[in-house]
Amino acid sequence: MADILKDSPIKAVQVEALVVMKLVNHAAKTFPTVSTGALVGMESSKQPGLLEITSCFPFPTIDVPTTDSHQQDSAANIAAAAPRAKANVAYQNEMIKFLREVNVDANNVGWYTSASMGNFVNMNTIENQFFYQKEPNERTVALVHDVSRSSQGSLSLRAYRLSPAFITAFKESKFTTESLQKSGLRYQDILVDIPVTVHNSHLLTSLLHQLPSDAPKEELSFPPNLAALQQDPNTPQPPFFPNYDSLDLAIDPFLEKTCDLLLESIENHHTELNNHSYYQRSLAREQTKITAWQQKRKAENAARTASKQPLLPEDEWQRLFKLPQEPSRLETMLNSRQVEQYARQVDQFTAGISTKMFAVKSNLLPGE
């Protein structure tokens, strides 16, 4: 990952806190539908390679009747493909023109999207980022906000770019086995993870430090001793202060859902492998037929040579036989990258749960 990041013109992303609040608010309002929008900012002049995102605005939504599942899927696809739609490109240019008039950073630096359970590695994400990244001298990123992960208590905001090797392969639409072996492109090389930091202005930071806490509404208990009375109420509790919530043995529902999605992605991956195996079997059958035909034609030509007759062409097999076309391996690569994303999420959540399960193992399995 460090080698891929070294080739990227953007080494880090700095997002203003106001942009984060707008993005989170937009994603929460449209959940579970995907929310997308444009990012505005500029590259830092003091620190080359640092992309500063100072503003954002959502793309307009298209109301589609949701009477059945097919129309719901079409509405989701329209929302996910909004960043590269022609109408939204014109809308984005118009908005940037208005922002320039009010002295706001008016450089397009990418787009943002919401995700659920880390499910964002798909063709819509790839095509949207390729639409932004194909321009010369571009400085664009894709911000991904995971709504489900953020609901667990920690903000999930990641920035991604397509790697140069994947951009080259995507332009040529060459995702065959031979081309992937020559280029050495792997599923780990599709997306480049860019470090993200949230930035607050100095005025906002000073305001946060000066915000007074609300006065308690319930009756306060008397301090047990003089030391407790003299202790600063803002002093945090010692690290070994008992927290009984951590003893809850219930498995996190986020982990359960992530495991279900992981199994589904693995099944899709096996389906793609079966399709490729069917292609290989079909290719082997056709090549066997071609070999038999060529041997037969050579024998005929040998007999014709002996009888001094004109020879028959030996390249007619190209007209008589049609080799099957190899399916693109792009879907397989995206599936593999999505499986890796789910596996990382499972790994982050299983550490604490596994510890509690081992602690109470004797109670769960009394026979052992």
Domain CATH for 92: 3.40.140.10
Is 247 part of any domain?
Answer: no
Q: What is d(CA 274, CA 283) in angstroms, rounded to the nearest whole number?
A: 14
Per-residue model confidence (pLDDT) at position 279 = 82
Strands 107-115 and 157-162: unpaired
Is 244 part of any domain?
Answer: no
Q: Residue 239 half-sphere exposure, CB side, CA atoms within 13 Å?
A: 0
Q: Are residues 181 and 288 in the same domain?
A: no
Q: Are residues 75 and 138 in the same domain?
A: yes
Q: How many CB atoms lie within 10 A of CB 348?
A: 12
Is 209 part of any domain?
Answer: no
The answer to whether residues 190 and 163 touch, using CB atoms and an 8 Å cutoff, is yes
Is 210 part of any domain?
Answer: no
pLDDT over 70 at 197, yes or no: yes
Listed residues 202, 231, 262: the one ending a domain: 202
Per-residue model confidence (pLDDT) at position 265 = 84
Per-residue model confidence (pLDDT) at position 62 = 61
Mean per-residue pLDDT for 225-229?
Answer: 65
* Structure-model confidence comparison of residues 146 and 224, the more confident one: 146
Q: Are residues 52 and 129 in the same domain?
A: yes
Residue (of 109, 149, 121, 126) closest to 24 by Cα position: 149
Q: Are residues 198 and 259 in the same domain?
A: no
Q: Are residues 261 and 345 in the same domain?
A: yes
Domain count, the chain: 2
Is 241 part of any domain?
Answer: no
Say which range, 94-98, 220-224, 272-276, 310-314, has the weakest mean pLDDT.
220-224
Say which range, 80-94, 100-114, 299-313, 354-368, has the weakest mean pLDDT.
354-368
Is 226 part of any domain?
Answer: no
Per-residue model confidence (pLDDT) at position 215 = 65
Count Cβ neighbours within 10 Å for each residue of 227-261 and write b for 16 or more, e otherwise.
eeeeeeeeeeeeeeeeeeeeeeeeeeebbeebbeb
Q: Are residues 56 and 182 in the same domain?
A: yes
* Cβ neighbours for 51, distance < 8 A, ≥ 6 positions apart: 10, 12, 13, 14, 41, 42, 43, 44, 109, 139, 141, 194
Q: Are residues 57 and 170 in the same domain?
A: yes
Q: Which domain holds residue 324?
A: 253-364
Q: Are residues 171 and 89 in the same domain?
A: yes
Q: Are residues 123 and 31 in the same domain?
A: yes
Is 353 part of any domain?
Answer: yes
Q: What is d(CA 367, CA 353) in angstroms, rounded to the nearest whole number?
A: 22
Q: Are residues 183 and 269 in the same domain?
A: no
Integer angstrom CA distances of residue 71 from 67, 87, 198, 219: 7, 21, 37, 55
Q: Dihedral sign for Cα 163, 60, 89, 138, please.
A: negative
Residue type, 250: A
The answer to whether residues 110 and 132 touch, using CB atoms and an 8 Å cutoff, is yes
Is 76 part of any domain?
Answer: yes
Residue (of 145, 121, 138, 136) closest to 35 by Cα position: 145
In order, the DSSP letters of 188-202 are GGSEEEEPEEEE--H
Mean per-residue pLDDT for 281-308?
Answer: 84
Q: Which of 60-69, 337-346, 354-363 has the highest mean pLDDT?
A: 337-346
Q: Are residues 89 and 169 in the same domain?
A: yes
* Cβ neighbours for 213, distance < 8 A, ≥ 6 positions apart: none
Q: Are residues 360 and 265 in the same domain?
A: yes
